[in-house]
Structure 1
Amino acid sequence: MKFRLKYVVEDVDRHGNVRLYYRRNGRKVRLRGPAGSPEFLADYRTAAAGPKEAKTDKAGRVVPKSFRWLCVQYFKSAMFQELDPRTQKVRRSILERFCEHKGDGDKPFAQLLPRHIRVRRDEMADRPEAANGMVKAVRQLYRYALRYDHHDDNPAEKVEYLKGNPDGYHSWTLAEIEKYEQVHPIGTPARLALALALYTGQRRADLVVLGKQHVRDGWLIFKQHKGRNRKPVRMEIPIIPELQRIIDATDTGDMAFLKTAFGRPFTSNGFGNRFRKWSDEAGLPHCAVHGLRKAAAARLAELGCTEQEIMAITGHRTSKEVTRYTRAASQKTRAESALRRLSLEQTPDESVPLLAAVVPGGTKSQPK
């Protein structure tokens, strides 16, 4: 019999893991599994009780010098306001959850030590990316505190990040792309989404706004969404024939190529959810839209493109992320190149072993 409780939902992350959440009135709280376990029931009761009220003074204000007070000051600062709206939303959510955890928001922020943050980080060890996101958010909070003379130390700077998946999102293989294409033929929104992601190498926040107004003489010309308020990146990407063929065969929107069932442009999150369903329909639950950006970069690397050429397509400002995207592809290309040179050095009548056997004394062993 399946265990059910009101407001409990299941979400599948990009690695295919099932996560349990309490979701009500816009709040989404992670619950430890499995469903029905003592830990699950304890988390459910806590979530159902709602967020703990912040301690206030007699005037109803948040107690000065508490962790929550510091967060409030940070949210009003220019440092926070200069961030991208999505970054603001994510960081605010992380810090508010930190405040709600065991009443940490009501404690003096000056008493927070590295060991306290490590304990909180280790409690999230099963979600290393979320744990690292928490550490990063607290680091930024205390950088604000240092800059505005609220404090003279940053305890989060001394807390190490957990080692998560070094490769990040799964990069689609050619076989996975073909499998998706078999389920979603040309002319469907799902196929157009794949083509836009694969043949432009852009993030989903850019994919949802690309439209006819960005096309000039066979080129897509636009500013990337990420960093648009601080360090805008202007992109010019040629529309290859295959992408143009798919666009022409699809019923696109007026201002955006991709549109919802109601004819309106997708939001970034809405598109991510919709693409998740399209991937699931193709039997690819482990494949996300961001993995196509990685696949595009990897394919360019396999074709011999330099990092600078790949960055001209993806819009990365530094080669660090591109190197991570293309690590496997570069290894494959180098191996192929090395063996090709080895093959050219051989004569038709010779067979040169890749590795000569070596005895401990350092001399080549002779056949017996």
Structure 2
Amino acid sequence: MADYLRSRQRRGRWFHYYRRSGKEISLEVHGLPPHDPRVMAAYWAEHVRWEHRPPDAVTPKRHTFAWAVDLYLSGCNDWAEYAESTKKTRLAILRRYVAAQGDRLLSEITQKAIEIALYEKGGQAAVGEYKALKPVFEHMRRLHIIERNPMAGMELDRPKSKGFPTADAEDIAAFIAHWDIGTVERLVFDLALYTGAARVDLAAIGRHNMGSGLLTFDRQKTGVTCNVPLTAELRGVIARTPDIAPTFILNKYGKPYTPESLGNLFRDAAVAVGMKARLHGLRKAFCVYWAEQGKSTHQIAAMAGHLTLGEVERYTRAVDRQQIVRLIVEGA
């Protein structure tokens, strides 16, 4: 129920306000009848902001880009469901745009202006900003604050990329030769190789994920469940981790690594041996290994928690598979 909606007529014209804690805020949809969808959209947008923002938060001027971002971050269900890593990246982008264009009225923001800004940015940076900005305008459209998403139908030149390099046979051999069993660098390497876990998941998995011959965990990025076989090699690596610990990998203080610090640790370890691949490259190698073992694309997707089969197919192309299999099995 719209408990804080105050609508009243003056000389036959409707006026609508959000009244709460002694404050009365104009919803700026005057002239419309109380049950018009645009009135209710304006009400719920304001209500969500009050529910999820600190009471002393400064409200941006209505119908500006900063105001749109404020409503999006506090009230969009899609935003709430993003992985924390995605939120962190996109929030940084949105804050930069608010600082530069926050006072700009939504009605003044055209597709042409956005296209020019993204074209000037170029490359993957433009792709990232496109992904961050488009949902904000779409949220405004769904609230009936704007009639059309200015980014709808926008074509973006996406740079061709081979993605993160896959750890090849030479990478694996060099790392195994340099980092001895017992070092945290080797533990991170082995677990990443045998589980195929992404950085954010690798930092969180532990014995609590083991059961029925599988290491099972939900990917933080997508929520998709990974079911990794507890092979003899993986069991051997796990046996070298503390029996009672929240995660397999612990720092020198006996606490789990953050995903960022774990990624930095492995980056430095990889650089030390001249290895171009990073943790994501080991995730790709994991997929290649199981492809060589005769597992189907569907089975590998279930192990690695991929959303699409195309992701798995990209990972398992044109790699020295036989050598990778031999090094994974014999290198532990």
Which amino acid letter does the alignment assign opposite residue 68 of structure 2? L
Q: TM-score, normalised by structure 2?
A: 0.73
Show the counterpart of 1:260. Answer: 251
After superposition, the Cα gap between the structure-2 partners of 1:123 and 1:135, relative to the gap in structure 1 and judged at 3 Å, is same
Q: Structure 1: how far apart are the matches of 2:71 and 2:148?
A: 17
Pair 132,252 (structure 1): closer, same or farther in 2 beyond 3 Å: farther
- Matched with 1:62 is 60
1:26-41 correspondence runs (5 A): none
1:275 alignment partner, SS class? helix
Question: How does the TM-score come out when normalised to structure 1?
Answer: 0.66
1:291 maps onto 2:284 in alignment: no
Q: Deviations over 1:101-137 (max 9, x none)?
A: xx32211122222222222222322xx2221010111
4+ residue runs over 3 A deviation: 249-253
Q: Which secondary structure state, in structure 2, belongs to the residue aligned with residue 236 of structure 1?
A: strand
Partner of 2:265: 274
Alpha-carbon distance, 1:226 to partner: 2.4
Q: Which stretch has the larger CA shift, 265-274 or 156-165? A: 156-165
Q: How does 1:1-368 map to 2 (within 5 A)?
A: 61-79=59-77, 80-100=79-99, 103-125=100-122, 128-228=123-223, 233-250=224-241, 254-284=245-275, 286-329=276-319
Which gives a bigger RCO, structure 1 or 2 (Cα 8 Å, sep 6+)?
A: 2
CA-to-aligned-CA distance 1:331-360 (integer Å, 9 cap, x gap): x89xxxxxxxxxxxxxxxxxxxxxxxxxxx
Which deviates further from its counterpart, 275-284 or 66-75? 275-284
Contact 1:302 1:329 in 2 (8 A): no
Q: d(CA) in 1 for partners of 2:112 and 2:138?
A: 18
Specify whether residues 109 and 193 from structure 1 end up closer, same or farther in structure 2 by C-alpha distance, changes over 3 A only. Answer: same
In the alignment, the residues of structure 2 paired with residue 252 and residue 120 of structure 1 have an alpha-carbon distance, to the nearest angstrom, of 53
CA-CA distance at 1:176 after TM superposition: 0.6
- Structure 2 CA distance, aligned partners of 1:291 and 1:325? 9
Moved more, 85-94 or 69-78: 85-94
Count of matched residue positions in the alignment of Structure 1 and Structure 2 = 265
Overall identity of the aligned pairs, in %: 31
CA separation in 2, counterparts of 1:252 and 1:124? 49
For residues 144 and 257 of structure 1, do their structure 2 counterparts lie closer, same or farther at Cα, with a shift above 3 Å needed? Answer: same
Asked whether the 8 Å contact 1:210–1:256 carries over to 2, the reply is yes
1:339 aligns with: none
Deviations 1:220-243 (A, max 9, x none): 123222233xxxx33332221122
Counterpart amino acid of 2:61? V
